[in-house]
Amino acid sequence: MPEDGFRPMRRVRQQLSDRETEAILQKGVTGILAVNGDGGYPYAVPVNYVWKDGKIYFHGARAGHKFDAMARDGKVCFCVIGRDEILPEKLTDAYRSAVVFGRVRPLEGRELTDAAYALGMKYYPQPEAVKAEIEKDMPRLACFEITPEHITGKQAKELL
Angle between helices 127-137 and 109-123 (to 10 degrees): 130
Spatial distance between the Cα atoms of 107 and 143, rounded to a whole number of angstroms: 6
Distance CA 31, CA 34 (A): 10
pLDDT tens digit sequence for 25-70: 999 999 999 999 999 999 999 999 999 999 999 999 889 999 999 9
Question: Considering the chain, what is the average pLDDT of its residues?
Answer: 94
The residue extents of the domains of the chain are: 12-153
- Which residue, among 1, 5, 18, has the nearest Cα to 154 in the 3D structure? 18
Predicted local distance difference test score (pLDDT) of residue 29: 96
H helices of the chain, in order, are 18-27, 65-72, 109-123, 127-137
Report pLDDT for 3.
66
pLDDT value, residue 28: 97
Distances (CA, A) of 58 to 13, 17, 32, 80, 139: 31, 24, 11, 13, 17
CATH class of 12-153: mainly beta
